[in-house]
Amino acid sequence: AADRAFPARTDSLEQIVANIDETLKGAGLALKEVDGIGVGLGPGSWTGIRVGVTVGKMLAFSAGRPVAGVPTLAA
């Protein structure tokens, strides 16, 4: 599993796809090679959760993979 941390910045939303791409490349994977996409369901900020779920659904759809919600405290 790829696990990375990125500092919070004001342009985090603009960088989210680039950060995901960087993480996949660092793990030696392409998006189509992952088995599924997990998204954090909170607790967290309302907007952050919405963005994360939306991006996760977008990636899962484009890769033809399942998406699953994970409570943040269980991750």
pLDDT in tens, 41-71: 989 888 889 989 999 999 999 999 999 999 9
Q: What is the pTM of this model?
A: 0.77
Residue pair 66/37 in contact (Cβ under 8 Å)? The answer is: yes
Q: Return the biggest CA–CA distance within the chain.
A: 32
CB-based contacts of 56-65 (< 8 A; 24+ apart in sequence): 59/20, 59/31, 60/36, 62/31, 63/31, 63/32, 63/34, 63/37, 64/32, 65/34, 65/35, 65/36, 65/37
- Confidence bin at 1 (pLDDT 50/70/90): low
Domain residue limits, the chain: 12-74
Q: What is the pLDDT of residue 17?
A: 86
CATH class of this structure's domain 12-74? alpha beta
